[in-house]
Amino acid sequence: EGAELATGGTRRGIVVSTLAEARFFAAGGFDDILYAFPVPRWRLAECSELAQRLQEFQVLLDSPQGLELLLQNPLPGGKRWLVWLKLDCGNGRAGIRPTDPEALALARTIAQGSPQLVTLVGVYAHCGNTYGCRDIPAIQAIARDTTAAVLEFVTA
């Protein structure tokens, strides 16, 4: 009910951190879900099933190996993998640093490679490094730094 309220009743545009959550929301009629963790090989079959079932099931990529995994496992029926490039702006959990020269190369490879199989939707950053903050100014500083890093990357 909370997710339906949060989406204004559209049941679209939600982000989940586990595939169990994705399956739960899909069963509840949500049809536009982002799995906010780079697709691990051992979860590819589950991601593929959701991508085939939903109008838009989106995943994160943060490496050339992740891209190759999706390219080697195309979705059937004219569907394509919808991906966000996961940037690590200081959290250290997942993603590629936006200042890493490989990050821009990976974004270009995804965007220009095989869009009929894998389509770049955008870039994604999670400010999980705010969890240890003790006050609002510290959280705001991380938010500013993350925003600046993402905007600089997108501009490049």
Could you tell me the domains of the chain? Answer: 1-155 (3.20.20.10)
In single-letter form, the type of residue at position 11 comes to R
pLDDT at 129: 85
Q: What count of other Cβ atoms lies within 10 Å of the Cβ of residue 2?
A: 6
Average pLDDT score, the chain: 93
| pTM given for the model | 0.89
Give 18-42 as a DSSP string. SHHHHHHHHHTT--EEEEEEE--GG
62 secondary structure, DSSP code: -
Residue 72 near residue 53 (C-beta atoms within 8 A): no
Distance of alpha carbon 85 from alpha carbon 59, whole angstroms: 9
pLDDT at 109: 95
pLDDT at 97: 92
pLDDT at 91: 76
Task: Profile the chain (156 residues) by mean pLDDT over runs of 10 residues.
Answer: 91 94 96 93 96 96 96 94 92 85 94 93 90 93 94 94
